[in-house]
A and B are shown apart, each in its own frame.
Chain A
């Protein structure tokens, strides 16, 4: 240590604790980084590169590659077929509707259990249930809705035999847009409740009291203070719910097989037939999905940055 020119030595800082400091050739590049620190983040970085960043970059690359490896926009252009466009539109509609309704009903439920002065215990019960229901997705959820509202589902039968009301003759079909949306709400609503509840807790009681001493009604409080304060959170959750539904396939697949032409189901079929299919087209389809979920998040980030003026 003493033989080294002092200026080349990294500043140790007050909490120099790690016993091992990297020395030798890489010293300038790795100045100040201790071996222990490197070991701590290495697994995470390696994992992120190998299983998140590389696969994604590889797909993006392939989306712009012709079978011979040259650059092309044909793959993206091939997404322009009516069937693919249609599937994107249906996916966006299902995800958008289920996200919007999920956010709306989730917000209402969260408000009811937090601000509705309901008896003790209801809140924790609802929160626990939300934890379960938000994870009760995929295949079993489809089974549950089939058993309930399918053509031979219990509720369908009871409505028909006891109340003389034929759901399916009235236009309802579980294997349709609204059927899928209704099913998705089963995990969307609880997810909203889980995420928005802490934000509602963050609304101080004094804010509504201050507003009321200044003459505001309950509604005016929500319009000018409550909702604007929750807004970044609401929007963030909305984009999360959207992405959550947009990428979901298991529920739709088990529910409708491939009758409802949503993007993930299309991609699923594409991957299964990958050997024969066009490599670039699958990648382009995947890229399209990521672009849309990313777009939802960008919208959120933009609005959040605008709200950042008052967010610390």
Chain B
């Protein structure tokens, strides 16, 4: 525990009687890229703003490198921050924006200029120093904002939905660039987003937040494949739910649409005859019934969405509906709307989630 770079202990914040953060405990390692993920109003931005010092926690502590920083003003924390709306100073050109923190710190002019050059190269905008923010595209502005935050070598970087104001394509390329720079500098980074794809692709670890509480904290792979709560499972990725009845709790069998299947993940607390919700990712369902797909169900294609490399089908199983993904195959067109299909599911991929 003592090794943790940033530790958040029992953090509570209330706005006008409305509890936004309800006792959050978290610990981040040095050099780690952690994402706070959740829907709007889950408290992720409030936590970030408390780390930055813009909001004071009602109770709890924020400890960086073993020192409680809860009482410090934002300008004493040595934490860099990038905002959603860029927040570049409109009256300064790019170089002056990036050099602002260094100027405040009293760095000599030539040293400052060298550092600004270095930062401009880092973000791939060498030669842009004399331009003014309004002359730059959104993606360029956000890169300058990143350079400005990093220039004074902060001990930590906070990113508050830095990509959500950008176009889809720029969003992906900039997020890759941010990650690359973060790796290169080895700076501990806290990233806030409501976009699960963004969170999964960029993070070392993800904190999934809901209504002011931590739902799950773990690596992207675990968050996606082993969600611990129904909220995490539905918020991160698409989830199929099939309603069945427990046939024999001891043998872990469930009756599903007339057939009985074995579900290894069935919890020991299940009782015979109890309704149970079986969940699985779309990619765990396939049209072919291969050897591993021990659950086989018949249905009718209700919807076909061609997404490019992937085709998502919605199949009506009579009472239950299931979404499944198949890869695009140039030689085989997808099944037609209304046609009869057989879907296969590997029982080992099925999750049973409590509500």
Direct contact, A vs B (beta carbon within 8 Å): yes
Which residues of A does B touch, CB under 8 Å?
Answer: 204, 206-207, 209-217, 220, 224-225, 228-229, 307, 309-312
20 A-B pairs with C-beta separation under 8 A: A204-B85, A206-B83, A206-B85, A207-B89, A209-B81, A213-B77, A213-B79, A214-B80, A214-B152, A215-B104, A216-B100, A220-B104, A224-B92, A225-B91, A225-B92, A228-B91, A229-B90, A229-B91, A310-B91, A310-B93
B100 interface neighbour in A206, A224, A310, A311, Cβ under 8 Å: A224
Does any Cβ of A come within 8 Å of B75's Cβ? yes
Does any Cβ of A come within 8 Å of B257's Cβ? no
B105 interface neighbour in A207, A215, A310, Cβ under 8 Å: A215
CA distance in complex: A228, B83 (Å): 21
CA distance in complex: A217, B106 (Å): 13
Contact call A215/B101, Cβ cutoff below 8 A = yes
Minimum CB–CB distance for A2 against chain B, Å: 48
Does any Cβ of A come within 8 Å of B73's Cβ? yes
Contact call A214/B91, Cβ cutoff below 8 A = no
| Complex interface bits, B114-136 against A, C-beta within 8 A gives 1, otherwise 0 | 00000000000000000011100
| Complex interface bits, B134-174 against A, C-beta within 8 A gives 1, otherwise 0 | 10000000000100110010100010000000000000000
CA distance in complex: A214, B76 (Å): 9
Q: State which residues 23-74 of B face A: CB under 8 Å.
A: 52-54, 73-74
Contacts of A216 on B, CB cut-off 8 Å? 75, 100, 104
Contact call B91/A212, Cβ cutoff below 8 A = no
Minimum CB–CB distance for B136 against chain A, Å: 12
Minimum CB–CB distance for B77 against chain A, Å: 7
Contact call B74/A209, Cβ cutoff below 8 A = yes
CA distance in complex: A212, B76 (Å): 8
Contact call B83/A209, Cβ cutoff below 8 A = yes
CA distance in complex: A206, B145 (Å): 12
Minimum CB–CB distance for A218 against chain B, Å: 9
Minimum CB–CB distance for B46 against chain A, Å: 14
Minimum CB–CB distance for B269 against chain A, Å: 48
Does any Cβ of A come within 8 Å of B87's Cβ? yes
Also in contact, A214 and B133, with CB within 8 A (given A204-B87, A207-B89, A229-B91): no
CA distance in complex: A209, B79 (Å): 12
